[in-house]
Amino acid sequence: MERFEIDPDIHVAQTLPARIYSDPDMFRAQWESVFARTWHYAGHAGLVSVPGQVHPFVLMPGTLNEPLLLVRDTGDRIRCLSNVCTHRGTLVVEGPGHAQQLRCRYHGRRFTLDGRFHSMPEFEGTANFPSPKDDLPEVALGSWERFLLVALAPAMPIADVVAPLRARLGQLPFSALSFDQPGAREYVVSANWALYIDNYLEGFHIPYVHASLAQTLDYGEYAVELQRHGVLQLGIAKAGEPAFALPPAHRDHARRVAAYYFWLFPTTMFNVYPWGVSVNVVTPLAVDRTRVSFLPFVWDETKREQGAGGALDRVEREDEAVVEAVQRGVRSRLYDRGRYSPTREAGVHHFHRLLAEFMNHSMS
345 near Fe ion, rule: CB under 5 A: no
* In the complex, residue closest to Fe ion by CB: 319
Residue 107, binding choice from ligand FES, Fe ion, none, Cβ under 5 to 8 Å by partner class: ligand FES
**Cβ proximity to ligand FES, 106 vs 129, nearer residue:** 106
From the CB of 73, what's the least distance to ligand FES, in Å?
20
Nearer to Fe ion, 44 or 238 (CB): 238
Report the alpha-carbon distance of residue 239 to residue 216 in Å, rounded.
Answer: 9
DSSP 252: T
104 binds, among Fe ion, ligand FES, none (CB under 5 to 8 A by kind): ligand FES
DSSP 222-250: -EEEEETTEEEEEEEBPTTS------TTS
3-class state of residue 312 by DSSP: helix
Q: Among ligand FES, Fe ion, none, what binds residue 319 when CB lies within 5 to 8 Å by partner kind?
A: Fe ion
Rounded distance, CA 106 to CA 200, Å? 45
For residue 97, the minimal CB distance to ligand FES (Å) is 18
Say if CB 115 and CB 139 are below 8 A apart: no
Q: Measured between alpha carbons, how far is residue 288 from residues 27, 34, 334 in Å?
A: 9, 17, 19
Give the one entry of Fe ion, ligand FES, none that residue 15 binds, where binding means its C-beta sits below a cut-off of 5 to 8 angstroms depending on kind: none
**What residue 28 binds from Fe ion, ligand FES, none (CB within 5 to 8 A, per partner kind)?**
none
Q: What span, in angstroms and rounded, lies between the C-alpha atoms of 131 and 190? A: 46
Nearer to Fe ion, 35 or 200 (CB): 200
Q: How far apart are CB 67 and ligand FES at their closest, in Å?
A: 13
Count of H-run helices and E-run strands, the chain: 8, 18
Are residues 108 and 85 in contact, defined by beta-carbon separation less than 8 angstroms? Answer: no
266-325 residues near Fe ion, rule: CB under 5 A: 319
User: Rounded to the nearest whole angstrom, what is the least distance from the CB of residue 43 to Fe ion in the complex?
Assistant: 26
- The footprint of Fe ion (CB under 5 A) covers 319
